[in-house]
Amino acid sequence: MGIFSRRNLYRMLVENARFVRQRLLSEHIKRLNGSDPVQRVTTEWEAAVLNGLSKLGSVDHEPRLPGTTKPDVLFTHPLGTALMDITSVSDRGLDLQNPIYKLSERLVEMVKERKGKSGTGDKRPQ
């Protein structure tokens, strides 16, 4: 499940095709149709940010600038210019630090044990 409906995402990609090179647009589509949920969400987010910025000013996606790493976007607006990287936040790895699933599994076990001891498992008042 993504952030945006497929219809809205398709609209954004069509609009983004004005300033995203064909090869990069094809990569976006490939990642969106792929099986990696992290890549799908990060690609959706990038498409949405690029689309939003394009409605406010001029967008140069992955500009080729001398002496810099490869930034995601050079955004130009009447008030100024910004060179940006688009990122998304992930909670990957936090399950290992906060293993809530262990608590959940133990609670399910305790409920099953308790139901087994009562006979019927129905604890509602009569």
pLDDT in tens, 74-108: 999 999 999 999 988 877 777 777 778 888 888 99
Contact criterion met (CB below 8 Å) for 98 and 89: no
pLDDT digits (tens, 9 = 90+) for 30-74: 999 999 988 999 999 999 999 999 999 999 999 988 887 889 999
Tokens of 85: 């990287």
CA distance 49 to 92: 22
Looking up tokens 């996606």 gives 61
Confidence of residue 123 (pLDDT cuts 50, 70, 90): low
pTM value is 0.70
DSSP readout, the chain? --SS-HHHHHHHHHHHTTTS-HHHHHHHHHHHTSS-HHHHHHHHHHHHHHHHHHTTSEEEES---TTS---SEEEEETTEEEEE-------TTHHHHS-HHHHHHHHHHHHHHHHHHHSS------
Give the start-to-end residue ranges of the domains of the chain: 6-84
